[in-house]
Amino acid sequence: MTRLSVNINKIATIRNARGGRMPDVTKAAIDCELFGAEGITVHPRPDERHIRYSDVREIRPLIKTEFNIEGNPIPSFIDLVTENRPDQVTLVPDAEDAITSNAGWDTIRNRSFLTEVCAEFKKYGIRTSIFVDADPAMVEGAALCGCDRVELYTEPYAQLFPDDRESAVAPFIKAGEAARECGLGLNAGHDLNLDNLEYFIRNIPWTDEVSIGHAIVCDALYMGLEQTIKAYLSKVKIF
């Protein structure tokens, strides 16, 4: 069954807007697990505008389910990951000034670099996932880099979903099938929400994990964090 990993970056963004420790990011990670989340995702960026490197170090020993660190594998990120040894690392090609992730890797042009990074993390027993667009060629390229999974960048799916859900999910089905044929695990994330999540899972039921943050925090403003996580779990636990 598909697992739900909660990205807590947005909680850190709120904290950083005011300073101090409110909301408490570490407590939020613990509570998300308590409320049923099957993993915690963090995406530290070099400017630390949301999750800080110190947050990663503080949270790591407290996670009881799965800890996923995602980000651009610059040297400081690689050092952080190998120091804290999460269950999974997700490689994302975001620029330092990017507001949020906005594209997957070109796994063909960057094959040499990604192969080297995957090999480094595998030395520490860390499952490695590469963030890619819904393109079978990019999925196949990721497999050649030696990763364990790919994470499909789902913003295009979310954008088209309200107007034409069948067309929205079609390329993701093809990419998901390519991952399965290559022997890769399959993750998905970006702009998945309570409206579009279940349809995605029904069409790609071999999805191993979805990582959701922004939408969960937005919904929690009205529903509360515990009820929101339960609502998202109901959308992925459908088989």
Domain boundaries, the chain: 3-236
Enzyme catalytic residues: 43, 70, 190
Closest CA to 40 of 226, 228, 212: 212
Position 103 scores a pLDDT of 84
Q: Compute the distance between CA of residue 75 and CA of residue 92 in angstroms, rounded to an integer.
A: 14
- Class of domain 3-236 (CATH, top level): alpha beta
**Structure token digits, residue 214:** 């922004």
Specify whether the CB–CB gap between 101 and 92 falls below 8 A: yes
Q: How far apart are CA 75 and CA 83, in angstroms?
A: 12
Pairing of strands 39-42, 67-71: parallel
Whole-number pLDDT of residue 218: 98
- The list of the chain residues with pLDDT below 70 reads 95-101
- 3-state SS assignment for residue 155: helix
193-217 per-position pLDDT tens digit: 999 999 999 999 999 999 999 999 9
Helix (H, G, I), strand (E, B) or coil at 89: strand
What is the pLDDT at residue 14?
Answer: 96
Look at residue 100 in the predicted model and tell me its pLDDT.
57
pLDDT attached to residue 186: 98
For position 97, what pLDDT does the model report? Answer: 60
Name, in order, each residue with C-beta under 8 angstroms of 193's C-beta and a sequence gap of 6 or more. Answer: 158, 212, 215, 219
